[in-house]
């Protein structure tokens, strides 16, 4: 099997879970990292889908994870602009 794309998700609530679940169904992705301020949501998603790394702060994840192919931003719309800007930078 060819190398799978490394996926990361910011926001591990219901929308983040749906995004990860759909992506992993294709078998083209692996969940490289997940980030969420809520430790319980982060642990639930990471445990359920095998996240290789987990972060309580998306900025730390973006600084440490240098080889990400896909990033899903699944925060609430009112909180989305700062992570988008950080991801672009």
**How far apart, in whole angstroms, are the C-alpha atoms of residue 74 and residue 16?**
5
> Per residue in 32-78, pLDDT tens?
999 999 999 999 999 999 999 999 999 999 999 989 999 999 998 88
pTM beyond 0.75, yes or no:
yes
Q: What pLDDT shows up at residue 78? A: 87
What CA dihedral angle connects 82, 27, 44 and 84, to 10 degrees? Answer: 0
Q: Would you say residue 14 has pLDDT above 90?
A: yes
């Amino acid at each position: 099997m060819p190398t799978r794309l490394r996926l990361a998700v910011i926001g591990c609530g219901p929308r983040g879970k749906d995004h990860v679940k759909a992506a992993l169904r294709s078998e083209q992705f692996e969940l490289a990292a997940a980030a969420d301020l809520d430790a319980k949501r982060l642990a639930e998603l990471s445990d359920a889908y095998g996240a290789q790394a987990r972060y309580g702060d998306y900025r730390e994840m973006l600084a440490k994870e240098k080889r990400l192919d896909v990033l899903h931003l699944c925060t609430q719309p009112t909180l989305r602009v700062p992570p988008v800007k950080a991801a672009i930078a």
